[in-house]
Amino acid sequence: MRYVAPTSIEETVSVLAGDVRAQVYAGATDFIPQLRMGRPEPGVAVDLKRIDRLTDLRREGDTWVIGAATPSARLSEEEDLVAELPGLVEAAHLIGSDQIQSRASLGGNLCNASPAADSVPAMVVNDGRAVIAGPAGMRTIPVASVVTGPGSTSLATDEFLVELVFDRPPPRTADAYLRFIPRTEMDIAVVGAGARLTLDEAGRCQEVSVALGAVAPTVVMVPAAADILVGNPLTDEALKRVAAEASAVCNPIDDKRGTKAYRRQVAGVLAVRALRLAADRAARTG
Amino acid sequence: MTVTATTTDPQPGYKWVGTRPVRHDGLDKVTGRARYGADLNLPGMLIGAVLRSPHAHARILSIDTSAAEAMEGVRAVVTGADFPMLESGGEGSGEEYYDPLDLCRNVMARDKVLYEGHALAAVAATSRREALAALAAIEVDYEVLPHVLDVSEAMAPDAPILHEDLITEGVEPVPTTPSNVASRYVIDRGDIEKGFAEADVIVEREFVTQPVHQGYIEPHAVVADVGEDGKATVFCSSQGHFMVRAHTAELLGWEPSRVKVIPAEIGGGFGGKTTVYVEPVATRLSQKAGRPVKIVMTRDEVFRATGPTSGCKIRLKVGATRDGRLTAVSGSMAYQAGAFKGSPVSLGCMCAFAPYTIENVFLEGFDVVVNMPKVTAYRAPGAPMASFASETLLDEIAERVGMDPLEFRLHNAAEEGVRSVYGPIHKRIGFRETVEAVRDHPHYSIELGPNQGRGVASGFWFNFGGSSSATVHINEDGTASVLTGSPDIGGSRASMALMAAEELGIDVYDVTPIVSDTESVGYTDVTGGSRVTHATGLAVIDACRKVVADLRARAAMVWDVDVDEVEWVDGRAQHVSGDRAPMTTRDLAADAAGTGGPITASAAVNARGAGAAFSTQVCDVEVDPETGYVKILRYTTAQDAGRAIHPSYVEGQMQGGVAQGIGWALNEEYIFDADGTMENPGFLDYRMPVASDLPMIDTVIVEVPNPGHPYGVRGVGEVGIVPPMAAVANAIHDATGLRLSELPMSPVKVLEAIGANGG
Ligand SMILES: Cc1cc2nc3c(=O)[nH]c(=O)nc-3n(C[C@H](O)[C@H](O)[C@H](O)COP(=O)(O)OP(=O)(O)OC[C@H]3O[C@@H](n4cnc5c(N)ncnc54)[C@H](O)[C@@H]3O)c2cc1C
């Protein structure tokens, strides 16, 4: 295994073009444990952390731009980001521990393509966009279409993720992310739920988005949440229906971390709790 | 043993005992200087690695190591053929029981592999990479056999048989065919039919628990170096380097004195380091290669190949009168032994009801072999799962007869002079006092909120004595070195120093407590059975008393007075009639050559009077009715320590036992796939509690002195893990109305139970 640390996007593109067995990495908090567990070594290990644009975090006009290799700890340090996208920041802040977060990136969390990745539902409810570089230049796709299944992405072998872009939220809008783990930290989501909503001035829902993690091969949206809630306040009755819909869209597996029935039920519970939390926050930003 | 047992004054005028000095080994540990098993590197050292079975049960048809032996960097390869086959033997049960034949087959499989992870070959090479490559080149032809993990399935007549020669012991008539039931153990006292007839309330339930691992942070690690003289030096972390010496020598067909074991600092053991795995293998590899060999297990190997404790099935029935007097208990317990006999089921039977006085008892225990790693001691081996069952049922009975669960326990409490459930007459014990301590603790009356509940449970552990040696040297500057053979896994060096300071009358920091190698101190049993502060402490006290006698004699010689004229007070010799200037340890040490040479004494004991330990605990939980998540809100544990030599380390043991018990209660379990492969061999999915899962665990040290120790010490290391599972289950019952009888009480199981209950 060879090691390279390119300092520009162009250089990285050419390294990837030169060896189909090249693999990029950022914090390596998935990459190294996977090698230890016997995954075949890549021909070239490409460290992305020397490329300025990939470790950046900035407000650009009406958007937030987060470098694909930016350590997730940076997100909590950016006060305005915490105020505007609290759910995204809390999702990033759940990854591992302080030590892990000082390395782990959103780009790695996304491209590792684990069904349980914490930041992905939060990115998806915020309509995140992924900027991807390859031999043909840059292209932008929705975060939701990056992951195609457990461990696989829509990126070609000679492409890599450069940054993630989020619109700054309009008034009375907030997001939230909750996950269930059997412990309080250092664990993998059994269920994750991201929610974002915009309230109107009367406190009724104007826009609603709910995404679930760890309950299907990729993140699943709960479109029925918007159907039920838009134009209405968050009543217990309506939320009960949202919970049922959230449980229904899950396509979970039985494994050592939870049963299908458990994941279904808790998906509904967390979807509702995340919506309530987002609504509280949205009302406060009003 | 010459230390005579004296009952301790309840308000003793101690100077050091009961104080909390910073531990002598603390600085090295927090700065990272302390040397653990993996920290030693020798010139020319090879790295060893072990080939492990991918199958839960298979016959080894052939092993071909020729390709591996020819590989770059490979210096030695061993298989079962490189170790003598030992004779079966040994008897008893408990922490030090082993059968040499089983041990030799566990360390290196012979004709069969009996669990996934079972060692069957090993290599030593110049790097780990080469060693792993060589393992991959060893060709093994297996005939895969059906496997069995569940105790009930293993006991069934059509179960796959692990050992063709295993005939159940303890049943009449002696069976003629092999089975997986290694033995049956029975406690039969009084008349249970009469007892149940007297009962107004009878409860009966079945309980299931899963195997759990001790979860020590430090994996097993060893460096072995066999010299040209054929003698081996073994550096490793263990709970007993004399045990490592004995087992390593035995497994290699050597006399013990051919092996010297140097104890490394130990990063946790909890019973799991009371046997050997890689030590004899590294030693044989070193002998073959003529170079030092290091083997460090990975976490994965620790889970797959070293001792968990048993999972079990328990069925118990308990009867009591309307006014809350226990009249009878009966039931059966079947414990997984792992691949070889020797589960702690008999200890489970003995401990389950030991805190109580019950006249009519019938309990039978089955020791059942299954295709998982051979179980190893784990903190109060056998007692926690049995007490989970018994203490849950007692909670239910107390509820049924309308008594407060602590009052119910006091009502039935075992006491001095009364015959215990498991046989002997209780000496002075402090069970009642632990119950009262919890009852009187503010925790017990804090009001609970919605979805919250409170549970209590008690537990018993025998505590062991056993063989220990100690040597005390007075150095030229008047300080003392205290050498023992007990690895320090819980602060025992500090306790030894405190006891020595107390006896010698010198400052605790003028005592250097040392864990010495097998050639520098007399034989000492493993650090286990909560025995060290008691038994090794007795040896230290005895050796110190010999030193003091010597110091007095020397002072008498210098003063030319009768030795009876010399008193030892506060570290100095004083002339009783007072006309000579006192002489300190330092003065006497400086003049040692002139008064008979160096001042040193050794002592050895086979301690018998280990006082029994009891613990009573109260736990508050909050159950999330929508997710089944159980949050531990508050936890208080009261335990009889007899006499707390160093209260901080007593509290540490109490809290540690509770923390492990909570993990066992809520999330820890071995998960196997359909092929018998462990699915969660790492701390991510083998869920021990993390710090943020636990509240501050409040401790109440109860001190009812043990008449078998001059200061009243009782062992404190183990009993703390006995009550937590039932305390948590009883608290969940209080919060939800549900009686959970399966461990772990994970969110999935709790939510299922809530759902089944129509929640
Ligand atoms: C102790 C521990 C705890 C953890 N806890 C959590 C947790 O709670 N929640 C959670 O979701 N995850 C957790 N993880 C997993 C991991 O930390 C996260 O997925 C993290 O976000 C990965 O980021 P990274 O930068 O380290 O990725 P890396 O390991 O560097 O990369 C991960 C994968 O993504 C690919 N990749 C990385 N960057 C790019 C890019 N720019 N373009 C294309 N492909 C790329 C790599 O090739 C690799 O396949 C934990 C890991 C550990 C070790």
Mutate to test the interface with B, among A36, A41, A178, A187 (most CBs of B within 10 A): A187
Across-strand partners of B139?
B64
E-strand ranges in chain A read 2-4, 22-25, 44-47, 57-60, 63-67, 129-134, 137-142, 147-149, 152-153, 160-167, 173-180, 191-199, 205-213, 220-221
pLDDT for position A128: 98
A262 neighbourhood in chain B, CB within 8 Å: 628, 747-748, 751-752
Tally of domains in chain B: 2
Of A184, A185, A262, the CB nearest to B751: A262
At residue B92 the predicted structure's pLDDT band, cuts being 50, 70 and 90, is low
Give yes or no: residues B510 and B637 share one domain.
no
- B224 within some domain: no
Gap between the Cα atoms of B90 and B101, Å rounded:
10
pLDDT for position A286: 61
**Exposed, middle or buried: residue A60 (CB in 10 Å: 0-12, 13-18, 19+)?**
exposed
Question: What CATH number does the domain containing B741 carry?
Answer: 3.30.365.10
* pLDDT per position as a tens digit, A173-228: 999 999 999 999 989 999 999 999 999 999 999 999 999 999 999 999 999 999 99
* pLDDT per position as a tens digit, A224-283: 999 999 999 999 999 999 999 999 999 999 999 999 999 999 999 999 999 999 999 999
Across-strand partners of A129?
A142, A165
Give yes or no: residues A87 and A116 share one domain.
yes
* pLDDT per position as a tens digit, B36-80: 999 999 999 999 999 999 999 999 999 999 999 999 999 999 999
Q: Are B95 and B376 in contact (CB under 8 A)?
A: no
Give yes or no: residues B522 and B616 share one domain.
no
Q: How far is the CA of A89 from the centre of ligand 1 (A)?
A: 16
- How many CB atoms within 10 Å of residue B111? 9
- B214 within some domain: no
A188 neighbourhood in chain B, CB within 8 Å: 684-685
- B148 within some domain: no
Contacts 24+ apart (CB under 8 A), B18-21: B18/B643, B18/B644, B18/B645, B18/B647, B19/B498, B19/B508, B19/B646, B20/B646, B20/B647, B20/B648, B21/B494, B21/B497, B21/B498, B21/B508, B21/B509, B21/B646
Give yes or no: residues A155 and A20 share one domain.
yes
Question: What CATH number does the domain containing A187 carry?
Answer: 3.30.390.50
A133 lines ligand 1 (CB under 6 A): no
At residue B3 the predicted structure's pLDDT band, cuts being 50, 70 and 90, is very low
E-strand ranges in B239-394 read 259-263, 293-296, 308-309, 312-320, 326-338, 360-369
How many residues are given for chain B?
Answer: 759
Mean pLDDT of B109-127: 98
Give yes or no: residues B620 and B728 share one domain.
yes
Give yes or no: residues B590 and B654 share one domain.
no
CA distance A184 to chain B (A): 6
A31 Cα nearest atom in ligand 1: 29
Of A182, A261, A265, the CB nearest to B667: A182
> What does each C-alpha distance from B186 to B158, B170, B208, B332, B420 come to in angstroms?
25, 8, 20, 9, 15
Listed residues A167, A187, A218: the one ending a domain: A167
Q: How far is CA B505 from the centre of its chain?
A: 33
Give yes or no: residues B548 and B675 share one domain.
no
Question: What CATH number does the domain containing A145 carry?
Answer: 3.30.465.10
Give yes or no: residues B571 and B646 share one domain.
no
Q: Are B572 and B588 in contact (CB under 8 A)?
A: no
∠ CA(B492), CA(B497), CA(B502), 5° rounding? Answer: 125
- B743 within some domain: yes
> What does each C-alpha distance from B133 to A45, B49, B50, B224, B707 come to in angstroms?
22, 10, 11, 22, 59
Q: How far is the CA of A193 from the centre of ligand 1 (A)?
A: 19
Q: Does the pLDDT at position B8 exceed 90?
A: no
Mean pLDDT of B409-434: 96
**Exposed, middle or buried: residue B172 (CB in 10 Å: 0-12, 13-18, 19+)?**
exposed
pLDDT for position A37: 85
- B477 within some domain: yes
- B331 within some domain: no
> What does each C-alpha distance from B305 to B90, B112, B175, B250, B635 come to in angstroms?
23, 15, 31, 21, 33
Q: Does the pLDDT at position B96 exceed 70?
A: no
pLDDT for position B97: 73
Is A184 in Cβ contact with B692 (below 8 Å)?
A: yes
Give yes or no: residues A197 and A141 share one domain.
no
> What does each C-alpha distance from A180 to A149, A186, A214, B628 come to in angstroms?
21, 12, 10, 11
Q: Please enumerate in sequence order all residues whose Cβ is within 8 A of that of B666, keeping only pairs 6 or more positions apart, or say none.
A: A182, B630, B687, B689, B728, B744, B745, B746
Q: How far is the CA of A26 from the centre of ligand 1 (A)?
A: 8
Gap between the Cα atoms of A126 and B273, Å rounded:
51
Listed residues B582, B607, B632: the one ending a domain: B607
Mean pLDDT of B584-592: 96
- Please name which of A111, A106, A107, A97 lies closest in space to residue A72, comparing C-alpha atoms: A106
Give yes or no: residues B555 and B638 share one domain.
no
Residue listed under structure tokens 């299907």: A216
* pLDDT per position as a tens digit, B145-178: 999 999 999 999 999 999 999 999 999 999 999 9
- Measured by CA distance, the residue closest to atom 32 of ligand 1 is A108
- B485 within some domain: yes
- Number of helical (H) and strand (E) elements in chain B, helices listed first: 19, 28
Tally of domains in chain A: 2
Give yes or no: residues B438 and B488 share one domain.
no
* pLDDT per position as a tens digit, B513-558: 999 999 999 999 999 999 999 999 999 999 999 999 999 999 999 9
A161 lines ligand 1 (CB under 6 A): yes
Of A187, A188, A259, the CB nearest to B748: A259
Q: Are B558 and B583 in contact (CB under 8 A)?
A: yes
Q: How far is the CA of A162 from the centre of ligand 1 (A)?
A: 15
Q: Does the pLDDT at position B91 exceed 70?
A: no
**Exposed, middle or buried: residue B189 (CB in 10 Å: 0-12, 13-18, 19+)?**
middle
Is A256 in Cβ contact with B671 (below 8 Å)?
A: yes
Give yes or no: residues B661 and B686 share one domain.
yes
Q: Which residue of B has its CA nearest to A243?
A: B626
Give yes or no: residues B506 and B597 share one domain.
yes
Give yes or no: residues A144 and A182 share one domain.
no
* pLDDT per position as a tens digit, A33-79: 999 888 999 999 999 999 999 999 999 999 999 999 999 999 999 99
At residue B756 the predicted structure's pLDDT band, cuts being 50, 70 and 90, is confident
At residue B759 the predicted structure's pLDDT band, cuts being 50, 70 and 90, is low
Is A256 in Cβ contact with B752 (below 8 Å)?
A: no
Give yes or no: residues A127 and A54 share one domain.
yes
For residue B507, the enclosing domain spans 26-34+465-607
Give yes or no: residues B544 and B483 share one domain.
yes
Check whether the bond before B487 is cis (ω within 30° of 0).
no
Of A185, A256, A266, the CB nearest to B685: A256
| Residues within 8 A of A (CB atoms), B 670-729 only | 671, 679-680, 683-685, 687, 689-690, 692-693
Listed residues A145, A167, A189: the one ending a domain: A167
Give yes or no: residues A37 and A114 share one domain.
yes
B679 neighbourhood in chain A, CB within 8 Å: 256
Give yes or no: residues A60 and A191 share one domain.
no
Q: Percent of chain B scored above 70 by pLDDT?
A: 97
pLDDT for position B578: 78
Listed residues B559, B581, B607: the one ending a domain: B607
Report ipTM for this prediction: 0.95
User: Does B757 touch chain A if contact means CB atoms closer than 8 Å?
Assistant: no
- B320 within some domain: no
Give yes or no: residues A14 and A135 share one domain.
yes
Q: Are A104 and A96 in contact (CB under 8 A)?
A: yes
Gap between the Cα atoms of B459 and B365, Å rounded:
19
Q: How far is the CA of B136 from the centre of ligand 1 (A)?
A: 29
Gap between the Cα atoms of B124 and B87, Å rounded:
28
Helix (H) or strand (E) holding B468: strand B466-474
Buried b or exposed e, range B574-609, using 16+ CB within 10 angstroms = bbeeeebebbbbbbbbeebeebeeebbbbbbbebeb
Give yes or no: residues A63 and A205 share one domain.
no
For residue A229, the enclosing domain spans 173-285
Of A180, A183, A258, the CB nearest to B687: A183
Q: Percent of chain A scored above 90 by pLDDT?
A: 97
Listed residues A167, A197, A216: the one ending a domain: A167
Dihedral-angle region of residue B192 (phi above 0 means left; psi in -120 to 50 means alpha; beta otherwise): alpha
Buried b or exposed e, range B630-666, using 16+ CB within 10 angstroms = bebbbbbbbbbbbbbbbbebbbbbbbbbbbbbbbbbb
Gap between the Cα atoms of B372 and B310, Å rounded:
10
At residue B356 the predicted structure's pLDDT band, cuts being 50, 70 and 90, is very high
| Residues within 8 A of A (CB atoms), B 516-555 only | none
Q: pTM value?
A: 0.96
Q: Which residue of A has its CA nearest to B744?
A: A182
Mean pLDDT of B719-740: 98
Ligand 1 pocket test, pick from A1, A51, A112, A164 with the greatest ligand atom count within 8 Å of Cβ, gives A112
Residues of A with CB under 8 A from a CB of B: 180, 182-188, 190, 256-259, 261-262, 265-266, 269
In order, the DSSP letters of B129-159 are: HHHHHHHHH-EEEEEE-----SHHHHHSTTS
> What does each C-alpha distance from B118 to A27, B559, B627 come to in angstroms?
35, 67, 38
pLDDT for position B448: 98
Give yes or no: residues A119 and A181 share one domain.
no
Give yes or no: residues A25 and A144 share one domain.
yes
Is B629 in Cβ contact with A262 (below 8 Å)?
A: no
The letter for the amino acid at A161 is L
pLDDT for position B94: 52
Q: Does the pLDDT at position B746 exceed 90?
A: yes
Gap between the Cα atoms of B265 and A46, Å rounded:
39
A68 Cα nearest atom in ligand 1: 41
Give yes or no: residues A219 and A80 share one domain.
no
- How many CB atoms within 10 Å of residue B92? 10
- Please name which of B548, B502, B540 lies closest in space to residue B646, comparing C-alpha atoms: B502
Pairing mode of beta strands A57-60, A129-134 = unpaired
